[in-house]
Amino acid sequence: MERRKFIQSMFAATAVAAIATPTTIFAEEAKKKTAKKGPNDMTFDEAVKAITEGKEVKDSDKIKLTVPEIAENGAVVPVKVEVDYPMTEKESVTAIHILNTANGNARCADVMLTPANDKAYFATRVKLSKTQEVVALVALSDGSFIKAGKSVKVTIGGCG
Amino acid sequence: MDINRRDFLQIAMALGLIGTVGGGTNLFAGEAAKEKIKNLTFSDIVDFKAKGKATILHICDLHAHIKPLYWREPSTLISAKNLVGTPGFICGDSFMKHYNIKAGSLDQYFDTYNDFSELAKKFGKMGGIAHMKPIIDHVKKERGEKNVILLDSGDTWQGTAVALKTDGEAIVNAQNYLGVDVMVGHWEFTYGKERVMELIEKLDGKFISQNVLDNDPFSDTFEESVFEPYTIQEIGGAKIGIIGQSFPFTSTANPKRFTENWSFALRHESLQEHVDHLRKKEKVDCVVVLSHDGFSVDQELAKKVKGVDFILSGHTHDPSPEPIIVNDTVIIISGSHGKYIGRLDLDIKDKKVAGYNFKLIPVASNLIPADKAGEELIAKEYKPFDKELNEVLGTTKGLLYKRDTFYSTFDALIGQAIQEKMKSDIVFTPGYRWGTTVLPGGDILKDNVYEMTAITYPEVYTFDLKGQVIANLMEDIADNVFNANPLLQQGGDMSRLTGATYSIKIDAPSGKRISDFKIGGKPIDVKKTYRVSSWGGNLQSAGENLDKETPAVYEVVSDYIRKKKVIDIPLESNVKVLDYDCGCPAKGAKC
């Protein structure tokens, strides 16, 4: 079932393209934008802006993001986020946001944390429509943001 | 390190086997030459410069071939530019040059496709358990039974009719006969979880894997290893820690239903933990990873994981006469289809590997007296099916083979048979790397058809796909085969197409590799709906208007051959490679 959706969404994204040129089938596709489909649809950049209110976000190796290189099943991709950061009254991680870069809605999960959580850790599963990046965007108590991203390949497979 | 291939080469030269590589001339003219081939004996084949006290024997990708067969290595083996010309991505002339193999030798016959039909007439079939066993027995006699272990990198239980019809049991019996001590898996899993567990019970050896986790959140063992992750074996007075790696992409390469709630991945972090544990806590003298990751993936793995002495690889079916060394890890792989037994001698001193020697022993069936017990076991396993499997369906004019990155004659035959039966515009046949070879003029037995198609999900599906979806699918498959990052490849070849032609630029970016795609001789229309048939994959899940009739692929192909009687498949590929000039490029994409 999830494969069908994956294919359908791929098709929906390119259905308006005319007959492909002989040189590359994807020449037209690159120019097309995914049409908005739902009320919560938001691009990755829009979602980041909504969370950070336009503040600068730095890549950080304090975030350990664990995702598979190739998804076993695009409908349930395990994502683990651990942040190497103090969890004290003075300084702490206040939120972990998990985002994707190519689904209709870029926001997968928003988790609010307090020092009482003791550890900045969250694991879940997300749905990915196609090969794309999963990004962990982390809010810190000083009002700054850090992030880390990794690519996940979603494939129909076919080779043995 | 002495590979001991030299002995072979000397023999080959002494036989006067001089000819041009790739030439079609008879290299063995004259009765005198024929007489000399007979002089190549068993002791030449097993000749080995022993080292230390412990020996590991390695087999991989038997694909259930308990009988000898013909198996021709690939005539096209193309990958991303950074990988082409390196072991794992060389074939034919580039392989011969890389390993300095002489024309007309037994090595040429076993390791390459060059002059295959000619050499097959002289050297005969390859492999078979009754011919593997004398080699194993010989090594055990030489080294002492307790100093030798036999490790199997998997893809053992699937690939022939006798395996399919006994749900794998005939092959487990064969493994017990050979004395397999430890194994890992891939196609094994296509018998389904329950059957896998039953067969492991029947196996005298152990089935290990550190990278298969129970992923059912409602089970007691959630996120725990399904199998024992490692085993420790003592041979030649040394403690050998062996960690298992089953195929990391089983759940995308084969139907998920067989392994529901089992999670497969490379899991190099937990592999590192096991290595450290074996070294520090168990105080082993040597760490071996028994793997079905694939040759190129294991070369990447060796960069990520420290403290592994040897990786015994499998999956990609490469014969590698010499080991590959990455950092401090030595990687070997022992071909496929029972053609070779890898012998790895270990010299362990001061709790460390002080030296080793490795050789791929070719199982040249005609030069090895068959073991009687093995022949009896084969006869017993085949007896219930002999009548069906020995049926001569027809004959072939040309060579029927499987291995090639894009096209093969046996796959073209399968595609034709399906297209005629299902009346489809286009047929997808999987780019598996297992199968068989039928020599020009040879009979095609029902058994041969099974050797190409014996899977537990043989249904041929026929359905509608839009041109755009077909185009996207081909790009998706191409990205799995030609990705520059071995970790994102899945070790197979391109799906074979019947009813279509295309050009491909291997080094173009993902999604832009394929051009000039034609279906039925006309450029693909992305808006048009095509009738598509496929087997052995997941494509039907993307289709609509699925035909109720889903015949078994081996029956469709058998019926077609019976009807045609004489099969004549052209050697030319329906795929044009734009950025390489030959099928077996050397390093730097040179032809």
DSSP letter string, B178-235 = HT--EE--SGGGGG-HHHHHHHHHH-SSEEB-SSEEE--TTSTTTTSBSSB-EEEEEE
Tell me: do B327 and B247 sit in the same domain: yes
- Overall average pLDDT of the B474-496 stretch: 89
Final residue belonging to a domain, choices B378, B412, B445: B378
Tell me: do B323 and B436 sit in the same domain: no
Instruction: Give a yes or no: residue B103 inside a domain.
Output: no
Whole-model pTM: value is: 0.87
For every residue of B395-424, DSSP letters joined together read: EESS-B----SS--HHHHHHHHHHHHHHT-
- At residue B545, the pLDDT reads 97
- What sign for the dihedral angle of Cα B313, B316, B322, B328? negative
pLDDT digits 0-9 by tens, A106-147: 999 999 999 999 999 999 999 998 899 999 999 999 999 999
- At residue B491, the pLDDT reads 64
- Overall average pLDDT of the B553-582 stretch: 97
- Residue that is written with structure tokens 């799995």 in the block: B480
Residues of B in contact with A3 (CB under 8 A): 538, 541-542
Tell me: do B179 and B270 sit in the same domain: yes
Decide: B428 and B532 in contact? Cβ < 8 Å. Answer: yes
Q: Is the pLDDT of residue A29 over 60?
A: no
Residues of B in contact with A69 (CB under 8 A): 265-266, 487-488
Tell me: do B351 and B488 sit in the same domain: no
Q: Report the DSSP beta bridge partners of residue A65.
A: A81
Tell me: do B329 and B424 sit in the same domain: no
- At residue A24, the pLDDT reads 41
Q: Report the DSSP beta bridge partners of residue B500.
A: B519
∠ CA A88-A91-A92, nearest 5°, is: 75
Q: Is the pLDDT of residue B24 over 60?
A: no
Q: Report the DSSP beta bridge partners of residue A97.
A: A110, A137
Instruction: Give a yes or no: residue B459 inside a domain.
Output: yes
Instruction: Give a yes or no: residue B16 inside a domain.
Output: no
| A157 closest CB neighbour out of B252, B432, B487 | B252
Q: Cβ contacts of residue A90 below 8 Å, gap of 6+?
A: A141
- Residue that is written with structure tokens 């043995």 in the block: A160
Alpha-carbon distance of A136 to A121, in angstroms, equals 11
- Residue that is written with structure tokens 């298992």 in the block: B244
B407: which 2 tokens? 């096209």
- Residue that is written with structure tokens 């998706």 in the block: B476
Alpha-carbon distance of B534 to B45, in angstroms, equals 42
| A159 closest CB neighbour out of B253, B256, B525 | B253
B110: which 2 tokens? 């076993």
Q: What are phi and psi of A118, to 5 degrees?
A: 75, -40
Arithmetic mean of pLDDT over chain B? 92
Tell me: do B398 and B467 sit in the same domain: yes
Tell me: do B237 and B354 sit in the same domain: yes
Residue A155 binned pLDDT confidence (cut-offs 50, 70, 90) = confident
Burial (CB count within 10 angstroms: exposed 0-12, middle 13-18, buried 19+), residue B358: buried
Tell me: do B372 and B395 sit in the same domain: no
- Residue that is written with structure tokens 């986020």 in the block: A81
Tell me: do B357 and B394 sit in the same domain: no
Decide: B586 and B576 in contact? Cβ < 8 Å. Answer: no
Domain ranges of chain A: 1-35, 39-152
Q: Considering its fold, how many domains does chain B have in total?
A: 2
Say how many Å lie between the first and final Cα of chain A, rounded. Answer: 21
Decide: B513 and B480 in contact? Cβ < 8 Å. Answer: no
Provide the residue range defining the domain that includes B353.
41-69+125-378
- At residue A45, the pLDDT reads 93
Q: What is the ipTM of this complex?
A: 0.72
Instruction: Give a yes or no: residue B344 inside a domain.
Output: yes
Alpha-carbon distance of A38 to B415, in angstroms, equals 42
Nearest to B89, CA basis, from B73, B105, B110, B101: B73
Alpha-carbon distance of B353 to B356, in angstroms, equals 8
Tell me: do B371 and B391 sit in the same domain: no
Residue A30 binned pLDDT confidence (cut-offs 50, 70, 90) = very low
pLDDT digits 0-9 by tens, B125-145: 999 999 999 999 999 999 999
Alpha-carbon distance of B412 to B423, in angstroms, equals 15
Instruction: Give a yes or no: residue B506 inside a domain.
Output: yes
Residue B34 binned pLDDT confidence (cut-offs 50, 70, 90) = low
Rg (CA), chain B: 23
Tell me: do B405 and B554 sit in the same domain: yes
CATH number for the domain harbouring residue B363: 3.60.21.10
Report the 10 Å Cβ neighbour count for B128. Answer: 25
Decide: B446 and B390 in contact? Cβ < 8 Å. Answer: yes
- Overall average pLDDT of the A53-58 stretch: 94
DSSP B518: E
Decide: B247 and B185 in contact? Cβ < 8 Å. Answer: yes
Fold exhibited by the domain A39-152: Immunoglobulin-like (2.60.40)
Residue B113 binned pLDDT confidence (cut-offs 50, 70, 90) = very high
Q: What are phi and psi of B520, to 5 degrees?
A: 60, 30
Q: Is the pLDDT of residue B319 over 60?
A: yes
CATH number for the domain harbouring residue B583: 3.90.780.10
Residues of B in contact with A159 (CB under 8 A): 253, 430-432, 477, 480-481, 490-493, 495
Interface contact A25-B516, CB threshold 8 A: no
Residues of A in contact with B253 (CB under 8 A): 157-160
Alpha-carbon distance of B23 to B21, in angstroms, equals 5
Instruction: Give a yes or no: residue B458 inside a domain.
Output: yes
Alpha-carbon distance of B91 to B95, in angstroms, equals 5
pLDDT digits 0-9 by tens, B51-103: 999 999 999 999 999 999 999 999 999 999 999 999 999 999 999 999 999 99
* Interface list for chain A against chain B, based on CB atoms closer than 8 Å: 1, 3-4, 7, 10-11, 14-15, 17-20, 22-26, 29, 68-73, 153, 155-160
Final residue belonging to a domain, choices B324, B352, B378: B378
Interface contact A159-B476, CB threshold 8 A: no
Segment among B28-42, B155-169, B382-396, B405-419 with least mean pLDDT: B28-42
In what helix (H) or strand (E) does residue B289 lie, and over which residues does it extend? Answer: strand B286-291
- Strand B340-349 and strand B54-59: the pairing is antiparallel
pLDDT digits 0-9 by tens, B43-58: 999 999 999 999 999 9
Interface contact A158-B477, CB threshold 8 A: yes
B443 against B24, higher pLDDT: B443
Interface contact A26-B491, CB threshold 8 A: no
Interface contact B539-A11, CB threshold 8 A: no
| A158 closest CB neighbour out of B263, B487, B539 | B539
Tell me: do B355 and B410 sit in the same domain: no
Final residue belonging to a domain, choices B378, B399, B419: B378
pLDDT digits 0-9 by tens, B237-275: 999 999 999 999 998 899 999 999 999 999 999 999 999
Mutation for testing the B interface, residue in A25, A151, A153 having most B CBs under 10 Å: A25
For every residue of B335-401, DSSP letters joined together read: -STT-EEEEEEEEEETTEEEEEEEEEEE-BGGGSPPPHHHHHHHHHHHGGGHHHHT-EEEEESS-B-
